[in-house]
Structure 1
Amino acid sequence: MDIEDLRTFVNILESLSFTRTGDKLGRTQSAISLRIKKLEDELDCKLIERDGRTMRATAQGELLRSEAVRLVEFHDRVKSSFKRKGIGGVLRLGVTDDVADGPLSSALRRFANEYPNIQIEVSVDLTQHILARLKRSAFDVAVAKVDGSHQPTRILRTEPLVWCTHLDANDQPPGVIPVVTFVDGSYPRDLMLTHLTQAYIDWRISVVSSSLSGLRAAVEAGLGVTAIAAGAIRGGLKPAPEAWRLPPLPPAQTALFAAASTTPAQEAFIEFMSASFQMA
């Protein structure tokens, strides 16, 4: 049996229309009819019957349906696997440390299994540095926070940006809010300080860090508050008490940013990461 005959048969039973099947598969209605006739002749039975405008599978057609679906899926999976293994090259990847600390490890492991001939070079840095280097063509793909400076290729995840403090913090707010923040020029720093100022809340910078792990350590030690994406809250952190009346912040968006020039390795990674974040 021809796999395309089986694919046509499966699609007809899904759409219940020769015309819609032809549109989906890029074939004329007569070509679709010929494929079904060929399959019926080969199996020596009627597979599809009409009752007025109603179309349905015959008893023999129903028997074939599940096996046809399985064979088409197996064919496509094997073909796709060999196609993936044929893609090679070097992929230069820039990511922020919240991504490196979160879903990246397991995603890269699965990606390497599916695309063993792609060599990945990973750099971890702050969003503004990653995107600046992407603009200079230092990376093929970046996974970073959306900060308004670059147009993202694809949004991967949107989550709340939450003010956090240490686990033993009480409901009584400090007179002046100590802020643990990234280095000057970073998007989260500007966002926090702008919203605190606009809310007429007194603040001071207590700790400056160039990494998310440094931010977490300082907040866990009780040296101040910071704002991080909800998915990155763990360990000795908790949302700041509502009694502190810290201003709400816009959500954090993690996105893919791709260099202008495209390669098969780049395209494969973009599609893979998009699917990985949807499953996370």
Structure 2
Amino acid sequence: MSAPLDIDQLQTFIAIVDTGSFTKAAGRVFKTQSAVSMQMRRLEERVGKQLFIKDGRGNRLTADGDKLLNYARRIIRLNSEAIAAFDDNRLEGTLRIGTPDDYADRYMPEIIGRFAKTHPNVELYIVCEPSMDLADKMGKGELDIALVTHNPLLRQSDVVRTEPLCWVGSANHPLKDDAPVPLAVGRRDCQWRQLACSALDADGREYQILFTSWSSTVVAAAVLAGMAVSILPESALRTGMKVLTANDGFPPLPPVQIGLMKRPGLSTSLVNAITDHITACLDNITPAQVDDDMDGEPKAYSRYYPRLRAGNMIPGW
């Protein structure tokens, strides 16, 4: 019978990916760098695959390393849930979390579900508002954690996920080639609205803003009804939407980064608990299924752009 994977080795493996280096990981898991390197050699021997490969002065995950990462996070998460189930000193209290509603639709169900299993005595208070308003609430101490669109020019946050931002329209309602692009976007200070308008301006393409709303549900409804085009991150795409690329006359957009804001002074154990759940859940988000052409056959959006995940983007590697 094959020996089981070592939990301690998997924790170190995840720490290397999350921190970006063996040296930083050593500090997180309270080991020497040589001990971390030894653990990774033993883990590679155990799975019979090379997990890291030299890349300049650093290292990066191999395809097998990326494959193991998903399993490692799941194993560590289940291990934590099992331990918490028998812990008489569980975390208690209220955790106030803020998130825009488009992130809430896609991310929060799994985050909330898993956190509730491991910390049933912690009450979660969820606020859904735009990133700018959430940052303001964080500054006033009205929230403990906020999942926001990362924008270092406006607010400080730790990047937890990076993914493509794309143009989307209805798969069942073709656009009129000779008409201005009808847009469904957020309010004037919305970062994605500004990106969309700037990209179309630079491309010399005419457009008209027909729908303005902070609600991702309203924007998605306008797109699915064939009344407008919008821009959405990969994880927010829905069945019935068609990704619009350069072949459709739409300019490329920069990727979107999702950041995590934390209130200073918040319980370290509570912050670590929710942060670990958020990071693991976001890393497990799968590429959205959208309609490639008018035949309505679902395709993964990553067909159009390389998939970018914060868990696999290792700074300096």
Q: Pick from 141, 146, 160: which aligns with 1:142?
A: 146
Q: Pick from 229, 233, 238: which aligns with 1:234?
A: 238
How far the C-alpha of 1:75 sits from its partner, in A, is 10
Aligned residue runs from structure 1 range 25-174, under 5 A: 82=86, 86-148=90-152, 149-153=154-158, 155-170=159-174, 173-174=177-178
Q: Pick from 249, 267, 274: which aligns with 2:272?
A: 267
**Do structure 1's residue 183 and structure 2's residue 208 form an aligned pair?**
no
When residues 202 and 274 of structure 1 are mapped into structure 2, their CA distance, relative to the original with a 3 A threshold, is same
Could you list the per-position Cα deviations for residues 193-233 of structure 1 after superposition, in whole angstroms to 9, with x for gaps in the alignment?
12211222211111111200100111112222100011211
Identity of aligned residues (%): 23
| Ranges in structure 1 where 5+ consecutive residues have no aligned partner | 1-9, 12-22, 27-73
CA contact (8 A) 1:207 1:223 kept: no
Distance (Å, rounded) in 2 between the aligned partners of 1:91 and 1:213: 26
How far the C-alpha of 1:173 sits from its partner, in A, is 2.6
Structure 2 length-normalised TM: 0.60
Distance (Å, rounded) in 1 between the aligned partners of 2:282 and 2:97: 16
Distance (Å, rounded) in 1 between the aligned partners of 2:164 and 2:148: 15
How far the C-alpha of 1:25 sits from its partner, in A, is 6.4
Partner residue, 2:282: 277
Larger radius of gyration, structure 1 or 2?
1
Partner residue, 1:29: none
SS in 1 for 2:106: coil
Partner residue, 1:257: 261
Partner residue, 1:244: 248
When residues 98 and 75 of structure 1 are mapped into structure 2, their CA distance, relative to the original with a 3 A threshold, is closer
Between Structure 1 and Structure 2, the one with more helix by share is 1
Could you list the per-position Cα deviations for residues 143-162 of structure 1 after superposition, in whole angstroms to 9, with x for gaps in the alignment?
12213321213x22211101
Please give the root-mean-square deviation of Cα atoms over the aligned residues, in Å. Answer: 2.8
When residues 75 and 142 of structure 1 are mapped into structure 2, their CA distance, relative to the original with a 3 A threshold, is closer
When residues 139 and 76 of structure 1 are mapped into structure 2, their CA distance, relative to the original with a 3 A threshold, is closer
Could you list the per-position Cα deviations for residues 112-161 of structure 1 after superposition, in whole angstroms to 9, with x for gaps in the alignment?
110111111001112222222212211100112213321213x2221110
Distance (Å, rounded) in 2 between the aligned partners of 1:78 and 1:232: 31
Distance (Å, rounded) in 2 between the aligned partners of 1:237 and 1:90: 38
Partner residue, 1:60: none
Q: Which moved more, 1:160-169 or 1:235-244?
A: 235-244
CA contact (8 A) 1:90 1:265 kept: no
> How many equivalent pairs are there?
212
Structure 1 length-normalised TM: 0.68
When residues 184 and 163 of structure 1 are mapped into structure 2, their CA distance, relative to the original with a 3 A threshold, is same
Distance (Å, rounded) in 1 between the aligned partners of 2:161 and 2:99: 14
SS in 2 for 1:101: helix
SS in 2 for 1:102: helix
